[in-house]
Amino acid sequence: MSRVCELSGTKANNGMAVSHSHIRTKKLQQANLQKRRIWWEQGNRWLNLRVSTRTLKTIQKKGLGAYAKSQGIDLNKL
């Protein structure tokens, strides 16, 4: 399973690790994904999702239904 957020689509970022002597090596910055069981009010059921912590924070603020609607995601398919 790839490390991609199921709601926002957040995935790994390529970057550089820079040492004290300024030697650059490639580094992969993974998304901070968490498995969470989130209550969906409109569907009246629980959803098991693998989401990033940034997405969780937004869901707590807006609500799962409103966030999915803004992203154009149909929660019935999950």
pLDDT of residue 52: 97
Domain presence at residue 68: yes
| pTM of the predicted structure, to 2 decimals | 0.83
Tokens of 33: 């994904």
**Average pLDDT per 10 consecutive residues for the chain, totaling 78 residues:** 92 97 97 96 95 97 95 92
Query: Which residue type occupies 69?
Result: K
Residue pair 63/38 in contact by the 8 Å Cβ criterion:
no
Host domain of residue 20: 13-77
Residue 55's Cβ-count burial label (10 Å; 0-12, 13-18, 19+) is buried
pLDDT value of position 63: 95
**Helix residue spans in 14-77 (DSSP H):** 53-62, 64-71
What is residue 23's three-state secondary structure? coil
Domain total in the chain: 1
Q: Is residue 34 part of a domain?
A: yes
Residue 7 placed within a domain: no
